[in-house]
Amino acid sequence: MFRLAHLSDVHLGPLPELSIRELASKRVTGYVNWHRNRRRAMFGDTLVNLIQDMKEEAPDHVAVTGDLVNLATKKETLAARLWLEELGAPYDVSVVPGNHDAYVPGALKRSYREWHEYMIGDNPLNAIGNSFPYLRVRGKVAIFGVSTAEATAPFFATGTFRRGQALALARLLENCRATGHFRVVMIHHPPISGSTSWHKRLIGKQFFSKVIRDAGAELVLHGHTHLDTLHWLRGPECKVPVVGVPSASQAPGSDKPAARYNLFEIDGEPGAWSLIQRERGARAHGDGIGWIRERELLAEGHAINARPREDAKPAA
C-alpha cells in the first residue's frame, strides 16, 4: 500500500516588513487583506501542529498544491524554501505553484528558482526553468505536476491551463496508463466549473477536462478554495475523483474549515485499484489534530461516489 499526503494553501506567515517599492503594486491589496483577515486566522501554531501530526503518520510521499506564500516577496520565497526542507527531501515532496506564488510579475520565476528541486520530474533534462507538466514515479504511483500559476491584475486570482501543457500532460498520462501506474494529477486551481468565483476561476479548464476524459487518471488533487470538496470528472472508463483540501494554516473558528490534510491509501493493481481518503485536521475547539472523516473513492478500479466505510475513523 502507498500512502500519499495532500496539503495546500500554506500561506506562510507572518508577513515580512515591506518596502515602499514592494507595496507599489498589487501587493498593497494583499497586504491590507493579510492584516485585516488572514493575520488573525492563519498565523499561529495551527500549521506547525498539522505538519507534526502528518509526519507522525509517516506518509510515503507528500503533495503540496500551491500558495506557499502570501505576496511572493523575496523573503517569503526564501522562507518557503526553508519550510520545504523541514517538510521533507525533494524526492519525498512534490509541489506545484499557486496564484499567490506568482503574485506579481517576476515572482513565479523566483519560486521556480528557489523551489525547483521540489517541482521537477525524474528526468534530469527537465531540471531547468519551467518544467510543467512534470512526472515523478514512486513505486506503483505516478505523480503529475501541473502549473496554473500566473501574475494577475489586482482583485483577480485566476489561473490558466493552456493547450500546450494539456497536450504534454495527455502524453504523460497515456504513457503511465500503459505501464499500469496509479496516476495522481496535482493542480492548484480546481478544474471544475462553478467551484469558485469568477475572478478566481481556472481559465482553460475545458482543456484539462478533455485530457482526463481522453487519457484518464485515478485521482486529481487541488487547493485554492480553502475548502474540503469532492467533485468528479469523466474519464475514458469511469469517473475520476477531484479532491480539494482546506488551507493548512487555517485556525478554527472562522467561516472557512479549519486546517486539514488528506491521507490517501492507494492499493491494488490496474483495473482493481482501491483508494481510501482519510482526513485529519484541527478540531473545532482548538484541542489538537484529530480524525475528521474517512471515505472510499475507488474500489476495483471504479468510482463509488465516496461511500463511507464501516470501519471509518471516529470524527474529531
Structural domain boundaries enclosing 289: 2-308
pLDDT band, very low/low/confident/very high, at 287 (cuts 50, 70, 90): confident
DSSP 3-state assignment of 276?
strand
Beta-carbon neighbour count of residue 205 at 10 Å?
A: 21
For the purposes of burial, counting CB atoms within 10 Å of the CB of 62, is it exposed (0-12), middle (13-18) or buried (19 or more)? buried
Task: Indicate whether 88 belongs to any domain.
Answer: yes
Task: Indicate whether 200 belongs to any domain.
Answer: yes
The answer to whether residues 22 and 73 touch, using CB atoms and an 8 Å cutoff, is yes
Name the domain count of the chain.
1
Angstrom distance (rounded) from CA 39 to CA 249: 11
Closest CA to 186 of 3, 4, 27, 29: 4
Residue with cell 526542507: 85
> Which of 26-30, 67-71, 127-131, 218-222 ranks highest by mean pLDDT?
218-222
Task: Indicate whether 264 belongs to any domain.
Answer: yes
State the maximum Cα–Cα separation within the chain, in Å, rounded to a whole number. 58
pTM: 0.89
Q: What is the mean pLDDT of residues 284-309?
A: 77
- Percent of the residues in the chain that have a pLDDT greater than 70, as a whole number: 82
Give the CATH number, domain containing residue 194. 3.60.21.10
Task: Indicate whether 33 belongs to any domain.
Answer: yes
pLDDT band, very low/low/confident/very high, at 314 (cuts 50, 70, 90): very low
Task: Indicate whether 315 belongs to any domain.
Answer: no
DSSP 3-state assignment of 164?
helix
